[in-house]
Amino acid sequence: MTMTLSKKVFVLVALPVVFQIIFVVTLSGLLVRSNEVARREAMAKDVIANSNELGKLLYDQAMTASRYVATRDPVSVKHFQKLKLEIQSKLHYLGTKLANDPANLEHVLKMNQTYKQVDSTISTLVSDSGQLREPASALANVELRKEVGDYTNRFLASGQSLTEAMKSIERESPEAEAQSNLAVMIWLAAGVILNIILAFSLAYYFNRATTSRLGILVDNTSRLSNNQELNQKLGGGDEISHLDDVFHKMAQALAEAKRVKQEFVAMISHDLRTPLNSVMWVLESIESGFYGNLSETGQERVTAAHRSLDRLVKLVNELLDIEKIESGNLDLHTEIACVQSLFEQTRESVLDFAEKQGVEVTFQPNDLEVNCDSSRIVQVLVNLASNAIKFSESGSKVTLSASEGTAGVTFSVADSGRGIPPHMIDKVFERFRQVDPANPKERKGTGLGLPICKAIVEAHGGKLTLESELGKGSVFSFFLPFH
Ligand code: ADP
């Protein structure tokens, strides 16, 4: 597994190319052979036709000579000369046709040689002026005829041998052609099958070597985002293993940063919350006159300091909650809880604030029960109710309600306050999101309350939703399953 990705891609392309080149070269060789068989067959036919023709021409020439001797017709002399030229040209043609076939060329050379002898013998009958003359005597005539007959027979025998050789080529041709066609078919079929095998083998190799490794890399990215342990490190020296290496290092760095953050938050929870609580306790004691009476201004300042400290403690608590949610340490202690009691605790917590805002918090008595972490669900209800009070006009109502379904209980906190614009409906559940951060009412908040509520509800297996109409009010609802 030491091959780099670029080398693997090169192999993936080069192997089929090499295979195709071998395939095409071999196939062209087979086709050339097949053409050669067809060419030899055509040549054999041509040679046979010319050889037969030659026999006829020679016979014609001899007959022309005899005719002249018998009739003395001058036209025969011209015909005799014409036939001679034709025979010579055909012999030359056959010579060039068989130039690359020495065995068969031999027959043509013999024909040529015997024809020359026939010709020179016959030519003794032709005078220098082109007239035929009588042989010296009857005996000479007989010998001359015999000599011409002998040479003619030898010429025809050579022609016959040539024809036989060509016929055997002709006979073998269909078989050779069939063989060569079969070879082309076999090679084509083998080529297609090998091509398919090669393609699948390469795909398998590439899949095993690359795609599956890339899959592990992709799986690691989702594991990282889901806070799961990463897969074992990929071995090898290719680009994927380098990437995997970097990814593991990055995950380690992230885990380290997370650990540092958790330590920091733990440090805040101990080192900041404890003194804040002591200061709060002292302020409450001063406010209640435990250390003696204060002037009116002193009382006002202490109350203001108490309120600010309250907000600070709330912020620290919210930051700690967010940290718990992010690190997956939000532990729930579930038990069967009365919904009525949850509502009462909620109203109790927001009562001061509601009175100050002139808002009434109401709910219908009920005997519903639900399995949940009561303190966390009260935290959700308090946060939703506080928001509802904060954004409602004096004299209006905030209503808590609950209804039972087949699978669980749905809680709602409804107000008739300013409402939330449609484009912000999903966004208010994100951290530090506020509809109008410049608004003094919102400045008192942190933008962490709703994301915490959402996480607590989801940790119970439920869902927090919002319906709101600008200027008319909002209804926050959450569903808690029975188990
Ligand atoms: P905080 O109240 O601390 O700012 P939250 O996460 O609880 O943070 O709320 C986020 C924002 O959602 C608020 O700042 C406010 O703009 C908007 N919001 C929440 N509840 C209501 C409501 N009942 N009516 C109008 N706006 C609301």
Specify the pLDDT at position 401. 97
Specify the pLDDT at position 131. 59
Separation CA 41–CA 167 (nearest Å): 9
* 390 CA distance to ligand 1 middle (Å): 9
pLDDT tens digits for range 229-279: 899 998 888 888 899 999 999 999 999 998 898 888 778 777 888 889 899
Tokens of 14: 């080069």
Query: Cα–chain-centroid distance for residue 199?
Result: 15
Specify the pLDDT at position 330. 85
Residue the block writes with tokens 């449609």: 422
pLDDT tens digits for range 120-140: 877 776 666 655 566 566 666
Separation CA 317–CA 319 (nearest Å): 5
Closest listed residue to residue 81, CA positions, set 64, 93, 69: 64
Q: Is the CB of 449 inside a 6 Å radius of any atom of ligand 1?
A: yes
* 326 CA distance to ligand 1 middle (Å): 21
Tokens of 15: 């192997």
In which residue ranges of the chain is pLDDT below 50? none
Predicted TM-score (pTM) of this structure: 0.55
Closest listed residue to residue 163, CA positions, set 298, 60, 56: 56
Mean per-residue pLDDT of the chain: 88
Specify the pLDDT at position 134. 61
Burial class (CB in 10 A: 0-12, 13-18, 19+), 154: middle
Specify the pLDDT at position 258. 85
Separation CA 16–CA 10 (nearest Å): 10
> Probe ligand 1: pick from 387, 426, 450, 476, max atoms within 8 Å of CB?
387
Q: Pairing state of beta strands 397-404 and 360-363?
A: parallel
Q: Is the CB of 455 inside a 6 Å radius of any atom of ligand 1?
A: no
* 469 CA distance to ligand 1 middle (Å): 14
Q: Is the CB of 359 inside a 6 Å radius of any atom of ligand 1?
A: no
DSSP state of 232: P
pLDDT tens digits for range 156-197: 899 999 999 999 998 888 888 888 889 889 999 999 999 999
